A and B are shown apart, each in its own frame.
Chain A
Amino acid sequence: MNALIEARNLIKTYNGVAAVNDISFTVSPGEFFGLLGPNGAGKTTTIRMLYGFSPLSQGRLTLFGQNITTHWRAIKNRLGVCQQDNTLDPDLTVEQNLLIYAGYFLIPAAEARDRAAELLDFFALGHRKDAKVMELSGGMARRLILARALVNRPELLILDEPTTGLDPQSRHQVWEKLAALKKRGLTVLLTTHYMEEAASLCDRLMIIDHGRILVEGAPDDLISRHAGRQVIEIDGADVALRAFVAENGIEMDDLGEKVIVYTPEASDLHRVIQEKFCTERCTFRNGTLEDVFLRLTGRELRE
């Protein structure tokens, strides 16, 4: 099947500094694709090129087989976009936000009203349709942004941090809705800082940093490749442990007070460490995407 997004060697520079530096990827129809990376990694910059907001500095980008630079209007007609910032129209009510937005896609008024009603219902906002946007809670506003992005029945949904700043209830509700959309076959590209969100929703994901791709693959594959199945966190690790780990060539992150050891699946080492060194505070758990992320992008603060 033809790729829905085909990005080849994307480069975006601001004043000579590359925010996106040679990124290539493809997204197939029906896929749920994640774009992960620390603050300032270049996620939003990539997304802005995808929906035709930012011109590319270099590279080639096609969506639906059409070049974004020349066919931006046809492409944007088929996209739904949730920007990182809240761009809901505060001068309008909840329902008007959907109706007016539908107008930008030249959707006839009667059709727009039907779709608005349907979407407000789907996102449990029907009872607030006459409310002002300012009166909505963060979770409701985010659901409205999602509803607005779907008003043109897009074939590709682009979501820039759709769950940032939401409480766990709202977050789970958004996940539920996204999972339902995925089931209907919608193609989704998502950025997020919640690793469990990416791991559970995405078929495939890419971690980028400093505008470059670090890894790409299915979440489970990335976990077994870069974190290992079994992880032991050892508090107050001593010299003996560190020596043992180094001797056996075991992957480890040394945080000073704490040591995180990544042992391969079904190996003896795991048991040995458990017996020899886990006299006190030891946590055994499975490897996660967060381990992968931190191992690849480092633990230093950004910005």
Chain B
Amino acid sequence: MIDYRVFSLRFLKVWERNLVTYRRIWKVNFITPLLEPLLYILAFGLGFSGMIGDVKYAGLVLDYTRFMAPALIATAVMWNAFFETTYASFVRMYYQKTFDGMLATPLSLEEIILAEIVWSATKAVGAAAIMMTVLGFLGFVAFPSGLMLLPVALLGGLALGAIGMFFTGITPTIDMFNLPIFLFITPMFLFSGTFFPVSNLPVWAQPMALAFPLYHLVEMTRCFALGASDTHPLLSGLYLLLFFLVFGALALRAMRRRLIT
């Protein structure tokens, strides 16, 4: 069991460190969430939707672009959080020995890892905020309910940041992240009701999609962007919270095993 005394608000100082380094490169990081939704909307909306026609979802009949647009925010949350706690945290941990330096201060390992996960969620919220604004201008996000996308992005970012950190705790080398990306992230990206409703999947595959955190994240973004969803947002929210707690605890354990020798 984890001793609660290893946690304190001191973890915010590690979060702040990441913010300080991020401020030097934020302009580059700004561009992706700004332009990416435009590209997707352009490609799918203009190129694709004519071939597909309307999509039936949660009792609504939506044109394809409307259906897909909220999922763009959800997938951006996933990529931002997951990449941050895998590649970026791995570089800090292994190549830059940043965590080793921190461990000579009154910080605990748990605070460092928690801060990394919370930081990844922060980046996810930042990306979601920009995309929400862009998609809002294009009329794909309803307001004021759309503002709920920010806490949703935080929750989704925590869940996906936690599982990313868990992989960082058990991955021997940085190239090996290909494995969880191929086995977990890619199928999740494709089969979470992102680009087509889960009801289009064969019946046996549908429960699997329900286990994906991205599925619940997508459901919640649709709920607040469109005003309707298949799953109750409270249930999805609880699932993401649980996912964060379980994989957060597993990540702490894996990192303790890895770093404390």
Q: Which residues of B contact A106 (CB under 8 A)?
A: 10, 13, 106
Looking at A72-80, A270-278, A295-303, the stretch in contact with chain B turns out to be A72-80
Interface pair A100/B20, CB less than 8 Å apart: yes
Q: Does B96 contact A (CB under 8 A)?
A: yes
- Is the pair A92, B20 in contact by a Cβ cutoff of 8 Å? yes
Q: Tell me whether A53 and B104 are in contact (CB under 8 A).
A: yes
Give which listed residue, A54, A79, A87, A104, contacts B260 with CB less than 8 A: A54
Q: Does A51 touch B at the CB level, under 8 Å? A: yes
Q: Is the CB of B260 within 8 A of A53?
A: yes
Which residues of chain A in 71-127 are interfacial with respect to chain B, using CB atoms and an 8 Å cutoff? 73, 76-77, 79, 81, 83, 85-92, 96, 100-101, 103-106
Within 8 A of B (CB), among A150-185: 152
Q: Does B35 contact A (CB under 8 A)?
A: no
Q: CB-CB < 8 A to B16: which residues of A? A: 100, 103
Contact of B104 among A51, A88, A89 (CB under 8 A): A51
With A and B bound together, what is the CA distance between A92 and B19 in angstroms?
11
Question: Number of B residues contacting the other chain (C-beta, 8 Å)?
Answer: 22
Give the interface of A toward B (CB within 8 A): 14, 51, 53-55, 73, 76-77, 79, 81, 83, 85-92, 96, 100-101, 103-106, 149, 152
B95 to chain A, nearest CB (A): 9
Whether A76 contacts B105 by the Cβ 8 Å rule is yes
Q: Kindly report which residue of chain A lies nearest to residue B103, judged by CB atoms.
A: A53
Tell me the smallest distance from the CB of B122 to a CB of chain A, in Å. Answer: 16
Q: Which residue of B lies closest to A152 (CB)?
A: B105
Q: 3 closest A-B pairs (Cβ-Cβ)?
A: A87-B101, A81-B104, A104-B105
The 0/1 profile, CB within 8 Å of A marked 1, for residues 11-50 of chain B is 0011011001100100000000000000000000000000
Q: Report the minimal beta-carbon distance from A115 to chain B, rounded to whole angstroms.
A: 14
| B99 CB, min distance to chain A CBs, angstroms | 9
**Cβ contact within 8 Å between B100 and A89:** no
Question: Smallest distance from the beta carbon of A134 to chain B beta carbons, Å?
Answer: 11
How far, in whole Å, are A289 and B102 apart by their CA atoms in the complex? 35
A81–B101 Cα distance when bound, in Å, is: 9
Known contacts being A51-B104, A87-B97, A87-B101, is A103 close to B17, with CB within 8 Å? yes
Contacting residues, chain A, for B17 (C-beta < 8 A): 89, 92, 100, 103
Closest to A81 in B: B104
Q: For window 90-121 of chain B, which residues contact chain A by CB distance below 8 Å?
A: 96-98, 100-108
Measured CB to CB, the closest approach of chain A to B182, in angstroms, equals: 29
Whether, in the assembled complex, B261 has its beta carbon less than 8 Å from a beta carbon of chain A, the answer is yes
Residue of B nearest to A48 (CB): B261
In the complex, which residues of chain B have a beta carbon less than 8 angstroms from the beta carbon of A149? Answer: 104
Closest chain B CB from A42 CB (angstroms) = 14
A51: chain B residues at CB < 8 Å are 104
Q: Is B13's CB under 8 angstroms from A103's CB?
A: yes
- Whether the pair A83, B101 counts as a contact (CB closer than 8 A) is yes
Contact B21 A92 (CB under 8 A): yes
Q: Which residues of chain A are within 8 angstroms of B106 by Cβ–Cβ distance? A: 73, 76-77, 104-106
A85→B97 contact, CB < 8 A: yes
Would A76 and B261 be within 8 Å (CB), given that A91-B21, A103-B13 are in contact?
A: no
Give the complex CA separation of A222 and B96 in angstroms: 40
Task: Report yes or no: A55 in contact with B13, Cβ–Cβ below 8 A.
Answer: no
Contacts of A87 in B (CB 8 A): 97-98, 100-101, 104
Neighbouring A residues of B97 by C-beta, 8 Å: 85-87
Report if A83-B13 is in contact (Cβ < 8 Å); known contacts: A54-B261, A77-B106, A104-B105: no
Kindly state the separation between the CA atoms of A96 and B101 in the bound complex, as whole angstroms.
14
What 20 new A-B contacts, CB under 8 Å, besides A87-B97, A104-B107?
Answer: A53-B100, A53-B104, A53-B260, A73-B106, A76-B105, A86-B97, A87-B98, A87-B101, A89-B17, A89-B98, A91-B21, A92-B20, A92-B21, A100-B13, A100-B17, A100-B20, A101-B105, A104-B105, A106-B10, A149-B104
Determine the chain A residues whose CB is within 8 A of the CB of B21 once the complex forms. 89, 91-92
- Complex interface: chain B residues within 8 A of A85 (CB): 97, 100
A149 CA to B107 CA, complexed, in Å = 14
Contacts of B10 in A (CB 8 A): 104, 106
The answer to whether A89 and B101 touch (CB under 8 A), given A103-B13, A103-B17, A104-B10, is yes
Enumerate chain A residues within 8 angstroms of B261, measured Cβ to Cβ.
14, 54
Set of chain A residues within 8 Å of B13, measured between Cβ atoms: 100, 103-104, 106
* Separation of A51 and B24 alpha carbons in the complex (Å): 32
- Report the bound CA distance from A179 to B16 in whole Å: 35
**Cβ distance B206 to chain A, nearest Cβ, rounded Å:** 44
Taking CB atoms, residues of chain B closer than 8 Å to A104 are: 10, 13-14, 102, 105-107
